[in-house]
Amino acid sequence: MRVRKNIAANEEGFLFNPTTGDSFSTNSIGVEIISLLKKDISLRDIVDELYEKYDVDRALLERDVEDFSLQLKEFSILE
């Protein structure tokens, strides 16, 4: 699971796919997840990292990250 190379993303949460012309908006935790995915970090490790940082129930975080990754796939941001 890898972020497509041509996807442009900035720190404010704006994403652009030059191939399709689609643009997206995400929140700050979304930016974090995408930047970790860009570094080829697995979803499992991403959950570990976020769990250390955020005040959240682990099961909820796992579910939310999985749901987010499914959306990224749906939007063709992930390969």
**The two structure tokens encoding residue 65:** 């990250």
- Return the closest-CA partner of residue 64 out of 75, 56, 76: 56
List all residues 6 or more positions away from 19 whose beta carbon is below 8 Å from its beta carbon.
6
Binding mask 13-52 for other proteins (x = CB under 8 A): --x------xxxxxxxxx--x------------------x
CB 38 to other proteins: min, Å: 15
Residue ranges in contact with other proteins by CB under 8 A? 15, 22-30, 33, 52-56, 60-61, 64-65, 67-68, 70-72, 74-75, 77
